[in-house]
Amino acid sequence: MFSGSAHRDLAAEICGHLGVPLQPATVRRFANDCLEVQLQSNCRERDVFLIQPLAAPVQEHLVELLLMLDAARGASAARVTAVIPHYAYARSDKKSMPRVSIGGRLVADLLVTAGASRVLTMTLHSPQVHGFFSVPVDHLHALREIAGHFRAQDLAGAVVVSPDLGNAKAAAALARMLGLPVAAGAKERLSDTRVTITSIIGDVAGRT
């Protein structure tokens, strides 16, 4: 297990839960702003896991992960799994206008080219992103953990609401686990940071 700099606390917690050591890795920045990554433990014929969510600054952490993958492959690792709890480029899953790139697919290709033989990620923006990868993908979700958290709360008069129709299936699954009704919004995106809900499908009046 190695961690990039995106979330070392998460990596340490994962290793603590599994009872395995987090191996040291260093990231060095040269005077020309290029990065160099060194994995400081033997990887030869090992099953290597690289933990690096693509959190802000996304591009910095993505390049770190690509360099870590290349380092592990070059060190003769038997298998290299990229553990990416947050796959930021999953939102770029289709062409919304002419002459734009599909970033989710491009980043998937980069990860595989750099040396990923498996990817473990959570709650991708849309199911088709799974298909962008040419290597196996473990696509996890946290619905059971979320349901376990809310079962300890007072859910009288509550309703599970999806902000848009794309997440209605997941919202319905959570609602079944909690024994609650479900509703969904009709969302219109105005800009990258502004959305509006034009209508609600389902009964939410007077509910939490």
d(CA 198, CA 187): 6
The string of DSSP codes covering 147-164 is HHHHHTS--TT--EEESS
Cα torsion 189, 195, 196, 197: sign = positive
SS3 201: strand
d(CA 192, CA 49): 33
Whether 187 is catalytic is yes
What dihedral angle (degrees, nearest 10) is formed by the CA atoms of 90, 91, 96, 99?
A: -50
94, 95, 169, 187: the catalytic one is 187
d(CA 186, CA 198): 6
d(CA 49, CA 72): 9
d(CA 91, CA 129): 9
Q: Which amino acid is at 181?
A: P
SS3 55: coil
Question: What are the residue numbers of the active site?
Answer: 187
